[in-house]
Amino acid sequence: MTRQQRRAPSQRQLRVGEEIRHALSEVFTRGELRDPVLAGRSITVTEVQASPDLTNATAFVMPLGERMDADDEAELLKALKRSAPFLRGRVNQAVYLRRSPHISFAIDKTFGATEHLDQMLRRPEVARDLAVEGGENSADSDTPDDTDTKNSEPGDGA
C-alpha cells in the first residue's frame, strides 16, 4: 500500500463527497434520468468517496425496496455509467469545484451484510445460546454474596 492509500480522508474530501452525494440524490429524487433502466426507480446514494485530488469520486448506490441479483446489479451499474456524463454535469452545477470530478458507481453492500448478520442472530440456535448466556450473566449479577465483602480486606480489590 502506498502512503496515500493508508491515510484517512481529509475534511475537504469528506465535505466534497457529502456535497456530491446531496447533488446526486437530488437528481435521482427528481427523476431527471431518461435511461429506461433508471426511470421510475428509487435509487439512494449512501456515500460518495472523493479522491485526495478531488478529480475522481465513487458513489455507492442501492435501489430502495428491491432485491437484486448479480445480473440486476450489473445492469444498474451499466445504466449509471451511461448516465455518468449527465450526472457529472448536474453535480458541476450544484457543487462549485475547480474541476468537476469523474464519477464512478458501485453497489453498496453494507446493508446486505447487516441484513445477513441480523438473520443469523435471529436463528433459533443462536437465540437459544444468547438466552443461556444471558441467564448465566443475570445469575452472576444478582445481589453480591455478603461473605465475599466480609472476608475481604481494604485494598484487595473486592
pTM value surpassing 0.75: no
8 and 77 in a common domain: yes
Question: What confidence tens digit (pLDDT) does each residue in 129-149 have?
Answer: 777 766 554 444 444 444 455
Q: Does pLDDT of 13 surpass 80?
A: yes
pLDDT, position 153: 53
Q: Which three cell numbers stand for residue 96?
A: 462549485
Q: Across all residues in the chain, what is the average pLDDT?
A: 80
Q: How far apart are CA 67 and CA 152, in angstroms?
A: 60
Q: Which three cell numbers stand for residue 17?
A: 463527497
Question: What confidence tens digit (pLDDT) does each residue in 14-50 have?
Answer: 999 999 999 999 999 988 888 888 888 888 999 999 9
The structural domain count of the chain equals 2
89 and 122 in a common domain: no
Q: Which pLDDT band holds residue 158 (cuts at 50, 70, 90)?
A: very low
Q: Does pLDDT of 157 surpass 60?
A: no
Kindly report the CATH number assigned to the domain that includes residue 10. 3.30.300.20
Q: Is residue 145 part of a domain?
A: no
CA Rg, the chain, in Å?
Answer: 25
Range of the domain at 52: 3-107
Q: Which of 139, 13, 57, 37 is nearest to 131 (CA)?
A: 139
Sheet containing 43-50, strands listed edge to edge, beginning at the edge strand earlier in sequence: 43-50, 56-63, 102-107
Question: What confidence tens digit (pLDDT) does each residue in 74-130 have?
Answer: 999 999 999 999 999 999 999 988 888 999 999 988 766 666 677 777 788 877 777
126 and 62 in a common domain: no
pLDDT, position 109: 82
Residues 6+ apart with CB under 8 A from 61: 43, 44, 45, 46, 76, 80, 105, 106, 107, 108
